[in-house]
C-alpha cells in the first residue's frame, strides 16, 4: 500500500491535489456570495430560487445562451490574462481599460481606413491579422510607458496606469467624435465607420454571434501558461515578481523584465479590444468596453492569477452578465444585484481569511508538487 508521500509524489495525483487546493477558496467564495446575494434578492422582494434559475437559463439554458456567454467571456479572458500576467511580475496594471480602448481604436482604423490609404483591397488572410496584431501592439506600446517609468524612475505603476487611462479614454472620445467619426449624416453616435468585410473575423456557427476570437482567447491562455512556467522568460517574470532583489542577484535584468511584463500585459488588453472590433462589433463605439478593464482585476484575483483560473473566472462573470436579463425577467428585480454578487465574490476572494474562518479551512503549506503540477 502506498504511503501518503508516495501518493503525492505521483504527478497526476499531485496535479489534482494542487488544483483542488487552488480552487477551494474561490469556489467557496462564489458559493458564499451567491448565498448572501440570495438574501439581497429576498430583501428586494424577489424569489432567490427563480432568480438563480433564471440566471442559469440565461447563461447556459440554450445554444444561443451558451453562444452569448462565450461572446461575453472573450474580452474578459484577454483582459483578465493581462492583469494576471502583470500580477505574476509583481505589477498592478490598472490601465487595461485604456490599453483595450487604444487596441480597439487601432483595429478599427486598420479595418476601415487602411485599404483606402493603400489604394488596394486587402485579402482577409492579411487584413484580419493586421487589424488584430496592430491593435494588440498599440496596447503593448501604451502599457510599456508606465513599465518604463516604473523600471527607470521608480514611478508607481498604479498611479501611472490610472492617469494613462484618463488620457487614453479621453483621446479615444476625441477621435470618435471628430477625425474617426462615421461620416454618415444619420449617425449621431461617437463611433467609427464599419470595418471592411475583409477585416471581419468569421463566426463559428451560422445564426449565432460566437466568433473565432473565443477559441483564440483559450489558445492565448494556454500560451501564457507555457510562457510563465515553461520558458526562461516566464521564470524571470515570476522571479522578479516574487523578489526583485533576489532576481537581480541571480543575474536577471530586472528593469528590462518590468518593461517587458507591462508590454505583454498591455498586448493582451489591446488584443481584447481588437478582437471585439474585428469579431463582434465591426467598429469601435464610444463606451462599448467600459468596465472590461476593471472587471479584469476581479477576474484575475478570482482566478488566482493562473491562466486556467482566469478562463474559469471569465466564464463565470460572463455567465452572470449574460444571465442577468433572464433573471430580471423572472423575478422583476434590478440587474444591479449581479454587480452586488460580483463585488461579494471579489471581497471574499481578496479577504480569503474570512472564507477560511467561516468554513474552518486551515492554511497549509503548499508542497513542491503544486509548482510542478498546477503551475501556480
What is the CATH topology of the domain spanning 47-332? ABC transporter involved in vitamin B12 uptake, BtuC (1.10.3470)
DSSP 203: B
Euclidean distance between CA atoms 183 and 172, whole angstroms: 17
| Mean of pLDDT values over 259-276 | 97
Whether the predicted pLDDT of 72 surpasses 90: yes
Q: What confidence score (pLDDT) does residue 363 get? A: 55
pLDDT tens digits, one per residue of 362-374? 655 433 333 444 4
Euclidean distance between CA atoms 19 and 15, whole angstroms: 6
Place of cell 477625425: 179
Q: What confidence score (pLDDT) does residue 12 get? A: 62
Contact of 192 with 180, CB cutoff 8 Å: yes
Euclidean distance between CA atoms 110 and 106, whole angstroms: 6
Euclidean distance between CA atoms 274 and 107, whole angstroms: 5
Q: What confidence score (pLDDT) does residue 367 get? A: 39
pLDDT tens digits, one per residue of 31-52? 888 899 899 888 888 888 888 9
Q: What confidence score (pLDDT) does residue 370 get? A: 36
User: Alpha-carbon Rg of the chain, whole angstroms?
Assistant: 22
pLDDT tens digits, one per residue of 7-31? 445 666 655 666 666 678 888 888 8
Residue 293, C-beta contacts closer than 8 angstroms, at least 6 positions apart? 79, 94, 95, 96, 97, 98, 99, 100, 165, 269
Euclidean distance between CA atoms 350 and 331, whole angstroms: 30
Dihedral Cα 218, 219, 220, 223, nearest 10 deg: 130
Euclidean distance between CA atoms 99 and 269, whole angstroms: 6
Q: Where are the domains of the chain?
A: 47-332
Q: Give the chain's mean pLDDT.
A: 87
Amino acid at each position: 500500500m502506498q504511503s501518503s508521500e508516495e501518493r503525492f509524489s505521483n504527478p497526476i495525483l499531485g496535479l489534482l491535489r494542487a488544483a483542488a487546493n487552488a480552487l477551494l477558496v474561490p469556489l467557496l467564495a462564489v458559493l458564499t456570495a451567491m448565498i448572501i446575494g440570495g438574501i439581497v434578492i429576498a430583501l428586494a422582494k424577489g424569489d432567490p430560487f427563480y432568480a438563480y434559475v433564471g440566471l442559469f437559463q440565461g447563461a447556459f439554458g440554450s445554444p444561443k445562451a451558451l453562444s452569448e456567454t462565450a461572446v461575453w467571456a472573450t474580452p474578459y479572458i484577454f483582459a483578465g490574462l493581462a492583469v494576471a500576467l502583470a500580477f505574476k511580475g509583481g505589477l498592478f496594471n490598472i490601465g487595461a481599460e485604456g490599453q483595450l480602448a487604444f487596441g480597439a481604436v487601432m483595429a478599427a482604423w486598420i479595418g476601415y481606413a487602411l485599404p483606402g490609404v493603400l489604394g488596394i483591397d486587402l485579402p482577409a488572410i492579411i487584413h484580419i491579422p493586421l487589424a488584430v496584431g496592430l491593435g494588440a501592439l498599440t496596447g503593448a506600446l501604451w502599457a510599456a510607458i508606465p513599465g518604463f517609468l516604473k523600471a527607470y524612475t521608480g514611478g508607481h505603476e498604479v498611479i501611472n496606469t490610472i492617469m494613462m487611462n484618463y488620457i487614453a479614454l479621453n483621446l479615444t472620445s476625441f477621435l470618435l467624435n471628430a477625425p474617426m467619426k462615421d461620416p454618415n449624416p444619420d449617425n449621431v453616435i461617437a463611433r467609427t465607420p464599419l470595418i471592411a468585410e475583409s477585416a471581419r473575423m468569421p463566426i463559428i456557427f451560422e445564426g449565432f454571434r460566437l466568433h473565432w476570437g473565443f477559441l483564440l482567447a483559450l489558445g492565448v491562455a494556454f500560451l501564457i501558461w507555457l510562457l510563465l512556467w515553461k520558458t526562461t522568460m516566464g521564470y524571470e517574470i515570476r522571479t522578479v515578481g516574487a523578489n526583485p532583489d533576489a532576481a537581480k542577484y541571480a543575474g536577471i535584468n530586472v528593469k528590462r523584465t518590468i518593461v517587458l511584463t507591462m508590454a505583454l500585459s498591455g498586448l493582451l488588453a489591446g488584443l481584447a479590444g481588437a478582437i471585439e472590433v474585428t469579431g463582434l462589433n465591426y467598429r469601435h463605439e464610444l463606451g462599448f468596453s467600459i468596465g472590461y478593464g476593471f472587471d479584469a482585476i476581479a477576474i484575475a484575483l478570482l482566478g488566482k492569477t493562473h491562466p486556467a483560473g482566469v478562463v474559469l473566472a471569465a466564464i463565470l462573470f460572463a455567465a452572470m452578465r449574460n444571465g442577468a436579463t433572464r433573471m430580471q425577467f423572472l423575478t422583476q428585480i434590478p440587474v444591479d444585484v449581479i454587480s452586488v454578487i460580483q463585488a461579494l465574490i471579489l471581497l471574499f476572494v481578496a479577504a480569503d481569511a474570512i472564507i477560511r474562518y467561516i468554513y474552518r479551512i486551515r492554511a497549509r503549506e503548499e508542497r513542491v508538487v503544486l509548482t510542478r503540477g498546477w503551475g501556480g
